[in-house]
Structure 1
Amino acid sequence: MKKLILSIAIISSAFAFGQKKDTNAQLQEANKAAMDAYNAKNYAVAAPKFLEVYNLLKTNGQDDKVYMYYAGLNYALANNVDEAIKIYTELINSGYTGVQTNYTAKEKKSGQVATYDKGTWEMLKKSADYSDFKTEQTPSVEPDLYETLSTLLLNAKKNDEAVAVIEKGLAKFPNNAKLKDFQSTAYYQSGNTDKFVATLKEQLAKNPNDATNWYNLGVMQSKNPATAADAEVSFKKAIELKPDFANAYQNLVYSVIGEDDKAVAEINTLRKTKPDDATKLIEARKERFNKALPYAENWYKALPNDVNAVTMLKEIYSITKNQAKMAEMKAKEAELQGKAK
């Protein structure tokens, strides 16, 4: 989430409510309380105060949603997810972009540059005491609205809602990298694996050097026996791009070995009735473990204190008849298990 920049005070209120002293005082008081709370990083207090400023302005004919935006940002920073989601949803649905024009002028006597509402700025042009009249348009915050709301919804496990918001955002900002990443996560968390895989492939077509996306694609491919070979290719690509990618080595080991429990059960079933067939399966199993060995060693190299890596390497050394290495890993396994107690 982007850092808040809240340096805007209510410049126009004193002029807009010049004949309503009670309302103006309430407005200035709420704004000061909001700013003070924000500057003190007391976001839980700042959020409703900014919302109060927004509502006061709206009641008096000024629907300035920048203060609703500030309220949403502070609710998000305060981890009040429900309120933040509510505000961001309303801002997006209202078409709010945050684009506004700032009007500045310099007081000749003090040399200070200040921001004014448009009416006051136009009026000051007639005064000889001011110069350097400038206007500046602020950038749109609309992409940030979609990014932040998507994050909030995903964190709240509201995955279907997140998918809808992300797709809506990408329709407006098709090249937004963050929304593309969020889309993959949303599809995965919502169980839409086909769209998740399609999104990963689309992203890899645009950026084939993303090791994480190759890894994620490999994970999804490894879940389907029909694409198991493709999974190996994806994991290897991830490792090629990121040589210390421990999770990729781990999954590559599992992909190469396959369903070992099932293989062992089949061997045991055939031992008595079809010993020759059992021997063939034993050799094929040993070949798979030999193929997995270098990946397991690299997994261990990347995470030498991971007991899962040590145990797997111990088992592979046992099956491939490397007794010295098996003993080494057995001792390492006992050491790590002892530390864990």
Structure 2
Amino acid sequence: MKIKQIIIAGALLVSVTTFAQKDEFKALKKIYNKDVIKGEDLAEYKSLSDKVQPLAVEEGDKVYANFYRCMIPVLEYNAIDKTMAPMQIQMALMKFVSPKSITELAIGLNATLDYEKKTGKKIQTDDINETIASFKPELINYAVRLGNEKKFKESAEVLYSIYQLDKKDQENLYYAANYAVNAHDYDNAIVYYKELKALNYTGEGTIYYAKNKATGAEENFNTKSIRDNMIQLGTHISARDEKIPSKKGEIIRNIALILVDQGKTEEAKSALQEARKENPEDSGLIVSEANIYLSQNDTASYKRLISEAIDKSPNDEILVFNLGVTCGNANQFEDAEKYYRKAIELKPDFTNAYINLADLVLKPDAKIVEELNKLSTSPKDLKRYEVLKIERQKLFSKAMPLLEKAHQLDLKDDVIKSNLKSVYNFLEMTDKVKALKEEN
């Protein structure tokens, strides 16, 4: 008898919970369906949304409980006074919208769409599609604002969520990848780029321009027909079209470079070879591949690729300079000097090339000083001291004109000044030291 009572009591408890759950859902739906949402409505809606979460047991209940909760920012946006200035609307929007809430919105809406597609009951599908269409422009403006504030990671997160809401608009995925790179969030960036590659996204298209007669400013239009219609109406003149080139090569290139940065050498090699097929004239990709071989001590492959890069861009002073840096870091000092001098030949006012070349010239000085510090006052060591002193003088004399040229090109660089002063002091050029001090 007691067992039956327990079972009945349990059944009553479930029944009460179910009724309570249904009442909460009904109240939520009632507020959600209002044409005008007021402050007190929002407060009650949020409270009901919190109460529904732990009560939802069935799959459908869980989906819709999450749907009503993730829609809170949308209801808050709809409650904003739209007669305010656009900037005020944006400021109001930022009080309750965040990258996290937008991510949750995308997850919640997509889960609801998937569930209704599976069950064949389109309860919220049409409303969700309308919400995405109307709310999306504000979300894009928000993402742009975050980007302008240098909040690149947050901007990437928002743009990726917008893409999740509308996967036909792949451009948002492309910009999400770019912002992720700016944020040095390479783990997410490569995921986005790989998805773009899988989609075969190219970004190719045409921008349609015409000049506004009233303002004199050139404006762009989404379609040719809209632009041509404005010209026929007489509000615009001077139509022109601008082709948007394919971004496919750039995407593959960025995938390869991120893999290099992540140290995934074998995968990076394959990606770089693919990127080079898409970008045959990009000598930077050849250098990136060469650097992988250099890190693996494969000098032969490294030199072969470097030669290929120089053949493709013999007059690119930045490439030549970077090759000098790479060789210097690999202790290939003769090659480094050759590339720095070539960079100066191509660009006589290349300040950094003079600085790096001077540093290269002075590099042996560290070993000389180390040896000097070990010498004693014995006759033999004193004789060695004089030899080393002459060697140092030769080094400093060779570096001096390079540092002087760098200083001439950049009079405000304190590091150049300090190094030049040290050279003058060692060579006992007191007049030049005094002149350098007087520049301050």
State whether TM-score is above 0.5.
Answer: yes
Name the counterpart of 2:225: 113
C-alpha separation in 1, matches of 2:305 and 2:199: 27
Residue 152 of structure 1: CA displacement? 6.0
Corresponding position: 1:184 with 2:308: no
In structure 2, C-alpha distance between the alignment counterparts of 1:236 and 1:306, rounded to whole Å: 21
Match of 2:311 in 1: 205
Q: 1:174 to 1:71 in 2, by over 3 A?
A: closer
CA contact (8 A) 1:296 1:309 kept: yes
Query: What CA deviation, in whole Å up to 9, does each residue of 1:160-205 have, x standing for no partner?
Result: 278357415325314152xx42563576599457566654432212
The root-mean-square deviation of aligned C-alpha atoms, in Å, is 4.0
Of 216, 220, 232, which aligns to 2:326? 220
AA partner of residue 184 (structure 1): V
Equivalent residue for 2:262, pick from 152, 158, 165: 158
2:79 match: none
Q: Residues 183, 324 of structure 1: CA spacing in aligned structure 2 closer, same or farther, 3 A cutoff?
A: same
Contact 1:215 1:248 in 2 (8 A): yes
Work out whether residues 239 and 248 of structure 1, in 8 Å CA contact, stay in contact via their aligned partners in 2.
yes
1:246 aligns with 2:358: no
C-alpha distance in structure 2 between counterparts of 1:286 and 1:100, whole Å: 60
* Percentage identity across paired residues of the two chains: 23
Q: Which amino acid aligns with 1:230?
A: D
Aligned counterpart in structure 1 of residue 252 of structure 2, from 129, 132, 146 = 146
Give the greater-gyration-radius structure (CA): 2
SS at match of 1:209: coil
Pairwise CA distance, 1:324: 0.8
Give matches, 1:92-103, under 5 Å: 92=197, 94=198, 96-98=200-202
Contact map agreement 1:253 1:296 (CA 8 A) in 2: yes
Q: 1:296 to 1:99 in 2, by over 3 A?
A: closer
Q: Distance in 1 between matches of 2:249 and 2:340?
A: 33
Q: Would the aligned equivalents of 1:271 and 1:278 in 2 still touch at CA under 8 Å?
A: no
* Aligned-residue offset at 1:296: 1.2
Matched residue type, 1:27? N
Note the C-alpha offset of 1:23: 3.7
Q: Secondary structure at the match of 2:348?
A: coil
Q: Are 2:431 and 1:324 aligned?
A: yes
Q: Distance in 1 between matches of 2:328 and 2:204?
A: 50
Report deviation, 1:210.
1.6
In structure 2, the CA distance between the partners of 1:271 and 1:325, relative to structure 1 (3 Å rule), is: farther
Q: Which runs of 5+ in 1 are unaligned?
A: 1-16, 55-65, 103-111, 115-136, 336-341
Deviation, structure 1 residue 297: 0.4
* Aligned partner of residue 113 in structure 1, secondary structure: helix
Cα distance in 2 for partners of 1:257, 1:49 equals 55
Answer yes or no: is the 8 Å Cα contact 1:69–1:87 preserved in 2: no
Give the equivalent residue in structure 1 for 2:391.
284
Q: CA deviation at 1:298?
A: 0.8
| Residue 49 (structure 1) aligned to one of 162, 165, 172 | 162
Q: Secondary structure at the match of 1:232?
A: helix
| TM-score when normalising by structure 1 | 0.62
Distance 1:20 1:176, change over 3 A: farther
Equivalent residue for 1:314? 421
Residues 4-42 of structure 1, C-alpha deviation per residue, up to 9 Å, x if partnerless?
xxxxxxxxxxxxx9x979645533432443344325536
Q: Are the structure 2 counterparts of residues 153 and 231 from structure 1 closer, same or farther at C-alpha, using a change threshold of 3 Å?
A: closer
Decide which of 129, 139, 142 is 1:37's aligned counterpart.
Answer: 139
- Who is 1:74 aligned against? 176
Shift of residue 315, structure 1, vs aligned partner: 2.2
Say whether the 8 Å CA contact 2:253–2:272 is kept in structure 1. Answer: no
SS of the residue 1:215 aligns to: helix
Question: Runs of 5+ in structure 2 lacking a partner?
Answer: 1-116, 146-154, 207-223, 227-242
Aligned residue identity for 2:336: A
Q: What code does the residue aligned with 2:400 have?
A: L
How big is each residue's C-alpha offset from its partner over 1:78-109, in whole Å with a ceiling of 9 and x where there is no partner?
A: 757544432321332x361448999xxxxxxx
Task: Note closer, same or farther for the CA distance 1:204–1:100 as it changes in structure 2 (3 Å cut).
Answer: closer
Q: Secondary structure at the match of 2:412?
A: coil
- TM-score after normalising by structure 2: 0.50
- Pick aligned residue for 1:257 from 362, 386, 411: 362
Aligned to 2:110: none
Q: 1:223 to 1:273 in 2, by over 3 A?
A: farther
Alignment length (residue pairs): 268
Structure 1 stretch 76-85 or stretch 307-316: which is displaced more? Answer: 76-85
Contact 2:357 2:402 in 1 (8 A): yes
Residue 409 (structure 2) aligns with: 302
Instruction: For 2:126 and 2:204, locate their aligned partners in 1 and report how far apart those are by CA, in whole Å.
Output: 22
Partner of 1:263: helix, strand, or coil? helix
The verdict on how the C-alpha distance between 1:328 and 1:276 changes in structure 2, with shifts beyond 3 A counting, is same
Task: Tell me, in whole angstroms, the C-alpha distance in 2 between the residues paired with 1:282 and 1:138.
Answer: 62
Higher relative contact order (CA 8 A, sep 6+): 1
Q: Supply the distance in 1 between the matched residues of 2:435 and 2:387 (Cα, whole angstroms).
A: 30
Once the 2 structures are TM-superposed, how far is the Cα of residue 252 of structure 1 from its aligned partner?
Answer: 1.2
Report the alpha carbon displacement of residue 300 of structure 1 after superposing the two structures with TM.
1.4
Distance 1:270 1:295 in 2: 34
Distance 1:101 1:216 in 2: 34
Asked if the contact 1:222–1:228 (Cα under 8 Å) also holds between the matched residues in 2, the reply is yes
CA distance in structure 2 between the partners assigned to 1:81 and 1:229 by the alignment: 35
